[in-house]
Amino acid sequence: MQPLLELKDIVKSFGSHRAVDSVSLSLNPQDKTVIIGPSGSGKSTLLRTINFLETIDSGSIMFEGRDVGYRRHKGHLILDKPRNICKLRAQIGMVFQHFNLFPHMTVVENAMEGQVTVQGLARKEAREIAMSMLDKVGMKDFADRYPAALSGGQKQRAAIARALAMRPKLMLFDEPTSALDPELVGEVFATIKQLADEGMTMIIVTHNMGFAREVADQLYFMEDGSFLAQGEPDEFFGKHCNDPRIQSFIQRI
Ligand code: ADP
Ligand code: MG
């Protein structure tokens, strides 16, 4: 099977600090990959490089078998044309810890925005797609509300619908429940699990080990910019449970 996404030796530094230090990762269609690891280990930076929100210093990103996003110039990597980056980005949905909804737009307008401005859809068609995605995440009845009038769980489900409205091939979730009150975590995980069961390819960064175990086919433990351990959930927790770094991480959260 051709991988949907292949990262090879990704390096991203901020000044002299290597936030992502030679990370490789491969995802086949429908794979659910979960990344865990302490704060500051480079998880968000890694997700952001996949979506071209951060430029990499070296390495390569293959999407559907093609080297994408960069060209080489005098030994350096240069980001591709903005138009091509926009097209690539539209295929990769991203959901952030803090929702990042546009506050001055209603829920349905949020879910239409990218379709109209990036994908060039007519507003009528964009609205229909947005409404069907809001329906999917149980947010249809909130379509005309502004984000300020929603609970955290509702905001996050609206953000998921907004990402889905672009009909992405890959979804990235960066600690999607970390900003939520505990009683709202379940509804967001249920939405993500539903997408997983429908076959969406995804990478999830989370501190919730229960959810990680439930949803992941592959788990990665990241520390200091690198993957220190990898495995299927049962194997991962079994095989590495004697690893003191992973043990102390799991005990702390
Ligand atoms: P995580 O998501 O695992 O908590 P991050 O990817 O956010 O980790 O951060 C990894 C490291 O990179 C941290 O040391 C962080 O301070 C640093 N970092 C992240 N973004 C920036 C930035 N824009 N400028 C400078 N340093 C950054
Ligand atoms: Mg982070």
Q: Give the model confidence (pLDDT) of 92-137 as tens digits.
A: 999 999 988 999 999 999 999 999 998 999 999 999 999 999 999 9
Q: Is 42 in the pocket of ligand 1 (CB under 6 A)?
A: yes
Q: 12 CB less than 6 Å from ligand 1? A: no
Q: Is there a domain that residue 96 lies in?
A: no
Do 217 and 156 share a domain, yes or no? no
Give yes or no: residues 10 and 106 share one domain.
no
Domain of residue 145: give its range: 101-168
Residue 14 — very low, low, confident or very high, per pLDDT cuts 50/70/90?
A: very high
Mean pLDDT of 169-189: 95
pLDDT at 239 over 80: no
- Determine if ligand 1 sits within 6 Å of the CB of residue 136: no
- Average pLDDT in the chain: 94
Q: Please state the pTM of the whole predicted model.
A: 0.95
Dist CA 233 CA 212 (whole Å): 8
Position 170, amino acid:
L
Ligand 1 within 6 A of 19 CB? yes
Number of alpha helices (DSSP H) and beta strands (DSSP E) in the chain? 9, 12
In this predicted structure, which of 68-82, 101-115, 132-146, 231-245 has the lowest mean pLDDT?
Answer: 231-245
**5-14 and 58-63 as β-strands: parallel, antiparallel, unpaired?**
antiparallel
Same domain, 114 and 208: no
Give the number of the ligand closest to the Cα of residue 38.
1
Please state the ipTM of this predicted complex.
0.98
The mean pLDDT value for 56-65 works out to 96
CA of 224 to the centre of ligand 1 (A): 10
**Backbone torsion region of residue 224, taken as left when φ is above 0, otherwise alpha when ψ lies between -120 and 50, otherwise beta:** left
Which residues neighbour 105 within 8 Å (Cβ) at sequence distance 6 or greater? 113, 146
Centre of ligand 1 from the C-alpha of residue 97, in Å: 14
**Domain termination site, one of 142, 168, 194:** 168
